[in-house]
Structure 1
Amino acid sequence: MFFIDTIETEGLGNRSYLAGGVANAVVVDPPRDIDRVLSAAAVRGVRISHVVETHVHNDYVTGGLDLARLTGAAYLVPSGAHVSFSHVPVSDGDTVGVDEGVTLRALATPGHTPHHTSYVLEEDGRVAAVFTGGSLLIGSVGRPDLVEPRLTEQLARAQYASANRLAAELPDETPVLPTHGFGSFCSSSQAEGDATTIGKEKTANDALVKDVDSFVADLLAGLEDVPAYYAHMGPANAAGPAPVDLGAPPLTDATDIARRLAAGEWVVDLRSRIAFAEGHVAGSFNFEADGKIATYLAWMIPWGKPVTLLADSPAQLAAAQRELVRVGIDRPTAAATGTLADWIPDGHTPRSFPRATFADLAAQAPGPDTVILDVRRDSERARGFITGSAHVPVHDLHRRLADVPAGTVWVHCAGGMRAGIAASLLDAAGRDVVAIDDSFDAATPAGLTLTTDDRTP
């Protein structure tokens, strides 16, 4: 009897899979921190005989090469992918035996990348599931614009054809098991749901219910900004990532933290945005460990810039390291744990700024010294924004601080996390800031006027 175990990487919105039979298993699109995969295999009592990639990933660093080396597994990579390491090239229709009666069949599904390949898991000749990577997702498809701008429309049309091929060749009851689509920016749109089948997608997925021209036009019109760090993931994966190192970084103290800040290094406070607002090291930035730290820190930090992490516990530090190695921030240059008092040199005082709600903003007397800054994405703002607010998406803010009008900045996002990041950047730049830690749904009930006519600064 076959099994399929899902290995979640929630911070990136991705899934990996361990699937097999009694003695052997295959790993599909493994994460960088492969200890989780090895633990899952140990629980099952199986040997990892094969590691497969659906494509060269653009959103995270794969653990596939390291896992294959460590376990001796065959490393299967689509034949059209240009990679620099030893592997087994896989072409459309290739079949490999995983365990007695359990096989994996390659199915070319270009679109997310030109070489993208899905894998059909079969038991005794019957289809058991399909691993669709960045092709057919839950209610969506993988975005086609991550490889080369000139190929985007061509890949969008290929994505349509690939989705329809899967729908035509596989039974309706086939479980669809994608890698992306659970909050990943590799998904062309975010859909609700945790599980699906070919049959369900036939009734709900745009790629299967629209004509190709309508599908392509709507897909291209709805694409979000691409996280900046994606530019580094594909090349790293094609070159062959180094083994991961999750060992603790060198520990530092208050004097050294001050020196690093003076040298222009990034000092990142991992505590909650509430704790950070109440008091923090002047010049530090707040990326909550419980938020999307990998996505937003990797998106915003100049690539290769040294980073020092401040955490309230060794466990918080270790969790953040694990998140960051997945996106190629392999080794913090230093770290400190403890409390704020441990991180500030004698004679220095902590910084702080107020937090507020949309009701507090509505009660604020408007004036030339009050700036409302919306740091949501363009697509979010297009659905409605506070009249008179300025707009700089949080992932652009560190480069566009000069675009924020003078005055006290009341900064908001959709729920509070990104506003906390933005407030820390503004505070480090010496601006007076108020972080609105509230749901945007509360803006209208609080008495604030929304509009969709963006002719404001």
Structure 2
Amino acid sequence: MKILFLSLLAFGIFPLTNGFQFNQLLKHAEMKEVSIIQFEDDGLAHFSYAIQVGNEMILVDPGRNPQQYYDHASSKGAKIVGVIETHPHADFVSSHLEIHQTTGATIYISMLAGVDYPHKTFDEGDVIKLSNNIRLKAINTPGHSPDGISIIVEENGKDVAVFTGDTLFIGDVGRPDLRESDGDLMATRIELAKKMYDSTREKLMVLDDEVIVYPAHGAGSLCGKAISDKTSSTIGAEKLTNYALQEMTKEAFVELLLEDQPFIPKYFPYNVELNINGAPAYQTSKDKVSRLEKNEKIDSGIVVVDSRNQEQFKKSHIQGAVNIMNGAKFETWLGSIVPPRSNYYLVAESEESLDKLISKTAKIGYEPFIKGAFVYDEKGGEKMEIFDQQAFDSNREAFTVIDIRTTGEVSKEKVFKNAINIPLSELMERTDEIPTDKPVVVHCGTGYRSAIGSSIIQNELKNVKVLDMGSDVKDYIK
């Protein structure tokens, strides 16, 4: 470990343990005084950063739980003196305000964000001097949001790295359609797409090819449509390989950027608002969640989010429950199915799982809406019939097939010719479009989403047999 630490330190980067993945060794730019750590949250495909020079540390786009940053700073004998927000995020809740209140660190954010909490504006021409040789320089890079900034790391007068927030990703750029009606600053998707063209061409692509690119998101984030699974890159590599940075007119760029963007989860506008105002303290807010007795008898008419695996759910569950399994995308689907500020019950198979799930809800600011959280293991609850693949294959016409994948996925490959496509993100509002004269079979691409979708349909279509195809769908995908 010591040898690895020393070999990476010369490049300003080294591994972080305790469950946080770190980017691979980059041999693009040598940084002798500054060290940069990348934290990764797999569930939200979110990257945050710690920049250290001497015994001072500045964070970039921190996630909801600040403890990971406190622990890291303590382990390095550093004091957190600043937090930079590249923009008010839509897909996760930041801990910038809590970190300021706990450590006294200065929050830096664009004046265009219009925030009211204590901060210093950080816009084009503004500089944070970390030593005689290290400076952080702000550049305004609107496109994903009107108030987006990127931060250039300058060492000995040379630009060596850039934190691009949601403006430039690896293999992609940020989507321009999330800020049309939220926050103090509003813009249409077309206007923002045009600004993205200018930001990439006039601000980022003019940097040296060797400059390392550190984005705020990786593959799986809904803030872009084609983000690479790489965790960092260089300006030169992106100019060669990123579809959005190729030579084209602004009009062609706008058309290309706007097509095939993923759906917008219900919680995105709420998170923008929460980040503009500043979220409450993470642990304090989690501690307020009401923990109920096992198999608690609960109020009807309130959504029950059952996080257990689909086999347990099908055998016995609370009437009206929605089966959002505790997986890699739990937070995203919770915030896509349950509207912000709507109360819900949270159910798990164990107290340990419940603890982890409450932490996941806090990432998107949904912990205050939990009416009660409890363990469920009753045997005599509601049931779902198991999908019989042989019966389905023997007479497919006897079933109504609902494909809950996105329209983009369906356009690339339709699994069943006569399937009705209702994307999962729209399903709660569109169940009345489903015919009720036959048993209904629900499928997605792997089996995770179909567990959610089939439970939603069962709740709405009381007198229809609803079957979750689950992972059997893989037998039909070419």
Instruction: State the TM-score, normalized to the length of structure 2.
Output: 0.85
Q: Residues of 2 paired with 1:23 and 1:361: CA distance? A: 67
Paired AA for residue 223 in structure 1: Q
* 1:221-300 pair list within 5 angstroms: 221-244=259-282, 245-247=285-287, 249-253=289-293, 256-257=296-297, 259-260=298-299, 262=300, 264-300=301-337
Which position in structure 2 is the counterpart of 1:35? 67
1:11 and 2:43 aligned: yes
1:145 and 2:177 aligned: yes
Structure 2: 5+ residue stretches without partners:
1-32, 182-186
CA shift for structure 1 position 178 = 0.6
Q: Residues of 2 paired with 1:82 and 1:360: CA distance? A: 59
Which position in structure 2 is the counterpart of 1:420? 451
Structure 1: 5+ residue stretches without partners:
446-457
Q: Residues of 1 paired with 2:400 and 2:328: CA distance? A: 26
Which position in structure 2 is the counterpart of 1:392? 422
CA shift for structure 1 position 362 = 5.4
Which position in structure 2 is the counterpart of 1:314? 351
Q: State the secondary structure of the residue aligned to 1:328.
A: coil
Q: Residues of 2 paired with 1:114 and 1:403: CA distance? A: 37
Which position in structure 2 is the counterpart of 1:453? none
1:104 and 2:104 aligned: no
CA shift for structure 1 position 360 = 4.2
Provide, for residues 277-306 of structure 1, a one-character-per-residue CA deviation record: whole Å limited to 9, x for no partner. 233222211111124111111111132221
Q: Residues of 2 paired with 1:298 and 1:167: CA distance? A: 32
CA shift for structure 1 position 20 = 1.2
Provide, for residues 182-210 of structure 1, a one-character-per-residue CA deviation record: whole Å limited to 9, x for no partner. 31111143334333111110111123213
User: Do 1:426 and 1:432's aligned partners in 2 also have CA atoms closer than 8 Å?
Assistant: no
* 1:52-131 pair list within 5 angstroms: 52-99=84-131, 101-131=133-163
Q: 1:198 aligns with which of 235, 238, 246?
A: 235
CA shift for structure 1 position 421 = 0.5
User: Do 2:218 and 2:230's aligned partners in 1 also have CA atoms closer than 8 Å?
Assistant: no
Q: Residues of 1 paired with 2:413 and 2:289: CA distance? A: 44
CA shift for structure 1 position 321 = 1.2
User: Do 1:20 and 1:99's aligned partners in 2 also have CA atoms closer than 8 Å?
Assistant: no
Q: State the secondary structure of the residue aligned to 2:252.
A: helix
Which position in structure 1 is the counterpart of 2:7? none
Which position in structure 1 is the counterpart of 2:433? 403
Which position in structure 2 is the counterpart of 1:381? 410
Q: State the secondary structure of the residue aligned to 1:226.
A: coil
> Deviation above 6 Å: which 4+ runs of structure 1?
none
Which position in structure 1 is the counterpart of 2:8? none
Q: State the secondary structure of the residue aligned to 1:40.
A: helix
Paired AA for residue 252 in structure 1: L
Paired AA for residue 156 in structure 1: A
Provide, for residues 123-143 of structure 1, a one-character-per-residue CA deviation record: whole Å limited to 9, x for no partner. 333323110001111110001
User: Do 1:142 and 1:180's aligned partners in 2 also have CA atoms closer than 8 Å?
Assistant: no
Q: Residues of 1 paired with 2:131 and 2:390: CA distance? A: 62
CA shift for structure 1 position 371 = 1.0
CA shift for structure 1 position 440 = 5.0
Q: Residues of 2 paired with 1:106 and 1:278: CA distance? A: 55
Instruction: State the TM-score, normalized to the length of structure 1.
Output: 0.89
Q: Residues of 2 paired with 1:45 and 1:364: CA distance? A: 67
Paired AA for residue 117 in structure 1: I
Q: Residues of 1 paired with 2:76 and 2:465: CA distance? A: 55
RMSD across aligned C-alpha pairs, in angstroms? 2.1
Compared with structure 1, are the counterparts of its residues 290 and 18 closer, same or farther at alpha carbon in structure 2 (3 Å cutoff)?
same
Paired AA for residue 249 in structure 1: V
Q: Residues of 2 paired with 1:131 and 1:53: CA distance? A: 10
1:209 and 2:262 aligned: no
Q: State the secondary structure of the residue aligned to 2:373.
A: strand
Query: Which sits farther off after the overlay, 374-383 or 42-51?
Result: 42-51
User: Do 1:189 and 1:222's aligned partners in 2 also have CA atoms closer than 8 Å?
Assistant: no
Which position in structure 2 is the counterpart of 1:187? 224
User: How many correspondences in the alignment?
Assistant: 433
Q: Residues of 1 paired with 2:34 and 2:43: CA distance? A: 29
* 1:330-345 pair list within 5 angstroms: 330-331=367-368, 332-337=370-375, 339-341=376-378
Q: Residues of 2 paired with 1:160 and 1:176: CA distance? A: 17
CA shift for structure 1 position 213 = 2.3
Q: Residues of 2 paired with 1:304 and 1:361: CA distance? A: 42
User: Do 2:335 and 2:364's aligned partners in 1 also have CA atoms closer than 8 Å?
Assistant: yes
Compared with structure 1, are the counterparts of its residues 255 and 225 closer, same or farther at alpha carbon in structure 2 (3 Å cutoff)?
closer
Paired AA for residue 61 in structure 1: V
